[in-house]
Chain A
Amino acid sequence: MAEKNNLISGATGDWEIVLGLEVHAQIDSNAKLFSGASTEFGAEPNAQVSLVDAAMPGMLPVINWFCVEQAVRTGLGLKAQINNYSVFDRKNYFYPDLPQGYQISQFQQPIVGTGAIEIDLADGEVKEIGIERLHLEQDAGKSLHDQHPNMSYVDLNRSGVALMEIVSDPDMRSAAEAQAYVKKLRAILRYLGTCDGNMEQGSLRADVNVSVRKPGDPLGTRCEIKNVNSIRFIGQAIEYEARRQVDLIEDGGTVEQQTRLFDPKSGETRAMRSKEEAHDYRYFPDPDLLPLEFTQEFVDEIAKDLPELPDDKKARFINDYGLTPYDAGVLVGEAENAAFFEAAAEGQDPKAVANMVIGSVFAGLNKADLDIGDSPVSAAQVGQLVGLIADDTVSGRSAKEVFELMFEDGPDQGKDPAVIIEEKGLKQVTDTGAIEAAVDEVIAANPDKVAQAKERPKMAGWFVGQVMQATGGKANPQAVNQLVLSKLGLD
């Protein structure tokens, strides 16, 4: 059934977008899928190329079992069927960055079969997206076209690096859903440690299949947008492509099955090749490799060490910590964030900790462009600070200042909040005598406002503000409020 709010309108009525994604995730491994060469990013061109990667005569691929484990681990994380018997096929085509003249991939019998992941929609709903399959394959090298005026260079460092191609069912109906899918998939992969999810370095990239139809109609002809490498671009590419297809059909044209490229500069997609120009890849089982077989014990052993995944963690945060689904969702987006929160929440009010982690820590890191691992304020310090607010040692307002001071202290995570509070004299004033004196002072200095307050009791807030200012924010706001109301005769 079409979801009403996802439809895009055209001249002839509403249209539904149908989206399926093929995500290429680089396996987090030290060595390549079929050779011992390093996979480290950023090496000099062609510094990480074995004889096998360069497809020298007589060289043979040998499976890297760690990559197999990683694929199985990912399959388990996607709650998918694990195939104990799968087959490597050759996908044949010529390209300078493809040394063998074929890519070793899995065609008819992939290592992982159907599974599913749940995505969180903006309205708080959860939607299940089907996974059709996951298979192992080799990455290609890279052609460099900007090194010479009329020649291209080839860098084979990436040639043979292990990829997981994760194919979804055509279950997504909007750019936002596709983006949520990629985010969720990325989070799962990162939790599992099977892919670093770094889209800038190309560790995660998506081919997006887009088609449009009138709600209830059969599937339309799809176009595949190749190699989109950021979540934002995925959104832009889908919006543009869906609109293009709707306009095309409404102008009396038909969508041609095509492979298209997204140009981030223009925000447009353009045709790369049509169906007629599509390669005949002549897939056949790679005779250099035996079928990939492993026992159920091999799978069970991996399953045993599977970490808690985002969905489970989110549910636990809601149930055990009483967090809102939104806060829980934000915190579990990255495993490191969730771990930071849990460390900070130890012995503290979890909701207050969640607020500080999301409101102060994330905001500060974001502004400073730092990862959670480089946070100048440790989880323990966040916990301490929340505790100091809770026991009235410091006011919420002063706590913000304390946090900023800790943050500025830099990555050495030098001073604990209690020390800063002491040094800066930010300890909350709970001595009612001192507060009373401040209240009296403000009342005495503002007889006109006092008169107004008698008419409009809401004016009391102004007095509270003045007193807080006068005490440098250190006064306990509740005590101030109580005294102001009482002195003004409003209680």
Chain B
Amino acid sequence: MTDLTQLNLADARDGLAKKEFSAVELTQAHIDRVAASAALNAYVLETPEKALDMAAASDAKIAAGEARPLEGLPIGVKDLFCTKDVRTTACSNILGDFTPPYESTVTQNLWADGAVMLGKLNNDEFAMGSSNETSRFGPVVNPWKTGDTQLVPGGSSGGSSAAVAARLGIAATATDTGGSIRQPAAFTGTVGLKPTYGRCSRWGIVAFASSLDQAGPITHTVRDAAMMLNSMASFDKRDTTSVERDVPDYEAALTGNIKGLRVGIPQEYRVDNMPAEIEKLWQQGIEWLKAAGAEIVDVSLPHTKYALPAYYIIAPAEASSNLARYDGVRYGARQQGVDIDDMYAQTRAAGFGDEVKRRVMIGTYALSAGYYDAYYVKALQVRRLIAEDFTKAYEKCDVLLTPTTPSAAFELGKNVEDPLEMYLNDVFTVTVNLAGLPGISVPAGLDASGLPLGLQLIGKAFGEEELLRTAAVLEEATGFDAQPQDWWSA
């Protein structure tokens, strides 16, 4: 039998439908591969028994001719998603062995459509990071490497990107607050889709920055991303920021035809010190889309340079408040103190890592009396201007094409001591979160050292069909089929 872990989501679905293999076989292949992947540290909790139970149930469904859209397809779940009776920690010590008595809406949607859970995936603590080095469980290692140098898988969804790239799950759930789906996808040669804000429910996802957080998939292909989004997206009465809107058939939108599509190229994304290879890849992307019949339009997003500073006010401000509930009183880890204030201080000092503390402090400062107007209010104004930039650009074009990241995956530990350098990773992605738009990273090529690079397409609000259709055409044009060498299997 062929290696079932080499299948993408759509092919595995079709193979199951044709009964070429069973869901249990497919799942077992992945369980075995996950079990041998400790060197990558992608999973923080493996749930093989649960996976096999779910797979067996899927086989019964398939046998009965009642297969659901993701029937029997084994996937990994970012540890930010609350999973009923399965430990959920957001990769923070402060949550201890927290085991939710509830299931997030997004994962519930996936299980309701027949998907199989392999386990919980590593991420930066509370999704704060761009390298997956802030996790309580230690860093995730990118399956791609240059020589002997170990690289980061991107973050915060580094477990998700590494798992998909290393074929430790056919797809993975992820979340994106400033680039946390697209940047790790770019670093690992995978597809990462951040949907429009409000497309997926945030209910049951550990919050980082509520106005920016959005769930999405990391997958092998654009088609797989469309399949995942079909199931993940829903209007949810329990999340009032989710939008009541039908979920179209995203897979059906992949017609391969983008003739006449206007692709905008934002001039402001030509940042200083951008590696020539990325500049070149971007140019190549333009040529590919042009060749497919798209019209290329120069557009301006003039407030782009303020996006990163605004993001690093708004996201920490919301986070400082969102993380106040982790106080040791009701759940998670508690440190004893001499009085209640001391208990809070001890609990939070021990429970949060440095990056989380840094952002809680930044956010607390930005919201403080006397600074609020200068920081938070100003950042919200910038945010509005950035959203208006996109609105204006979309008068001239339908989608935007940019690089996903300013560099390929970097060395583990390289930016740990330099948060500002780390934050620059988000330069091409944060604008999309600030404007609430959908964005997708598609692997487009390899750099000189053989590392994958991604191109980002940005769509209109709720323009996921057009976005995915364009991404699929781009994907096709790149002919990208590189895979990391398996050096990690034990």
Q: Which residues of A contact B (CB under 8 A)?
A: 51, 54-63, 90, 92, 94, 96, 99-102, 152, 154, 280, 282-284, 286-290
Contacts and interface: CB of A to CB of B under 8 A. Distances in A.
Contacts of B320: 92, 282
Contacts of A56: 82, 100, 102, 331
Nearest to B332: A57
Nearest to A34: B240
B98 interface: yes
A54 B101 CA distance: 13
* Most chain A CB inside 10 Å of its own CB: which residue of B90, B237, B241, B329: B329
**Dominant SS at the A interface?**
loop
B207 A58 contact: yes
A58 B104 contact: yes
Given A57-B206, A58-B202, A58-B205, A94 B324 contact: yes
Given A58-B203, A60-B202, A101-B327, A282 B237 contact: no
A90 B324 CA distance: 11
Contact of A51 (B102, B206, B344): B102
Interface stretch (B26-34, B300-308, B365-373): B365-373
A63 B241 CA distance: 12
A62 B240 contact: yes
Contacts of B376: 284
B203 A60 contact: yes
B98 A288 contact: no
B109 interface: no
Contact of B203 (A59, A63, A96): A59
A62 B238 contact: yes
Contacts of B202: 58, 60
Contact of B368 (A101, A280, A290): A280
Interface string B330-374: 110000000011001000000000000000000010011100100
Contacts of B101: 51
B327 A284 contact: no
B239 to A, nearest CB: 5
B104 to A, nearest CB: 6
Contacts of A154: 329
A360 B462 CA distance: 70
Going nearest first, the 8 A-B pairs with the smallest beta carbon separation are A101-B324, A287-B211, A287-B210, A282-B367, A55-B325, A58-B204, A57-B206, A280-B369
B321 interface: yes
Contacts of B204: 58-59
23 contacts: A51-B101, A56-B82, A57-B98, A57-B325, A58-B82, A58-B104, A58-B202, A60-B202, A60-B238, A62-B237, A92-B320, A92-B367, A94-B341, A101-B327, A154-B329, A282-B320, A282-B368, A282-B369, A287-B209, A287-B211, A288-B241, A289-B241, A290-B240
Contact of B241 (A55, A90, A284, A290): A290
A63 B239 CA distance: 10
Given A62-B237, A99-B329, 17 more contacts: A51-B102, A56-B102, A57-B88, A57-B95, A57-B100, A58-B204, A60-B203, A60-B239, A96-B327, A101-B323, A101-B324, A101-B325, A152-B340, A282-B321, A282-B367, A282-B369, A287-B241
A480 B404 CA distance: 108
Contacts of B369: 280, 282
A377 to B, nearest CB: 50
A391 B57 CA distance: 86
A284 B317 contact: yes
A57 B321 contact: no
B350 to A, nearest CB: 16
B43 to A, nearest CB: 20
B277 to A, nearest CB: 38
Interface string B198-224: 000011111101110000000000000
Nearest to B369: A280
Question: Which secondary structure dominates chain B's binding surface?
Answer: loop
B318 interface: yes
A280 B367 CA distance: 9
A99 B82 contact: no
Residue in A55, A60, A102 with the greatest tally of chain B CB atoms within 10 Å: A60
A96 B337 CA distance: 14
B206 A99 contact: no
A207 to B, nearest CB: 20
A55 B240 CA distance: 16
Contacts of A280: 368-369
Given A60-B202, A284-B367, A287-B209, A90 B321 contact: yes
A136 to B, nearest CB: 15
Contacts of A60: 202-203, 238-241
A173 B407 CA distance: 69
A96 B329 contact: yes
A376 to B, nearest CB: 49
A94 B238 contact: no
B366 to A, nearest CB: 9
B305 to A, nearest CB: 24
A60 B102 CA distance: 13
Contacts of B329: 96, 99, 154
Interface in B82-130: 82, 88, 90, 95, 98, 100-102, 104
A56 B95 CA distance: 11
Nearest to B318: A287
Contacts of B205: 58
Contacts of A55: 325, 330
B122 to A, nearest CB: 17
Contacts of B331: 56
Contacts of A282: 320-321, 364, 367-369, 372
B321 A92 contact: yes
Contacts of B82: 56-58
Nearest to A93: B324
Nearest to B89: A57
Given A92-B367, A94-B344, A101-B327, A57 B90 contact: yes
Nearest to A284: B367
B428 to A, nearest CB: 23
Contact of B330 (A54, A62, A90, A287): A54
A196 to B, nearest CB: 28
Interface string B218-252: 00000000000000000001111100000000000
A288 B367 contact: no
Nearest to B88: A57
A363 to B, nearest CB: 50
A92 B324 contact: yes
Contacts of B340: 96, 152
A57 B322 CA distance: 9
A102 B324 contact: yes
A46 to B, nearest CB: 10
Contacts of B318: 287
B202 to A, nearest CB: 7
A4 B250 CA distance: 77
Nearest to B206: A57
A11 B415 CA distance: 71
Contacts of B321: 90, 92, 101-102, 282, 284
Contacts of B206: 57-58
A96 B334 CA distance: 13
Contacts of A61: 240
B174 to A, nearest CB: 15
A287 B202 CA distance: 12
Contacts of A99: 325, 329-330
B86 to A, nearest CB: 13
Nearest to B237: A62
Contacts of A58: 82, 100, 104, 202-207
Contacts of B330: 54-55, 99
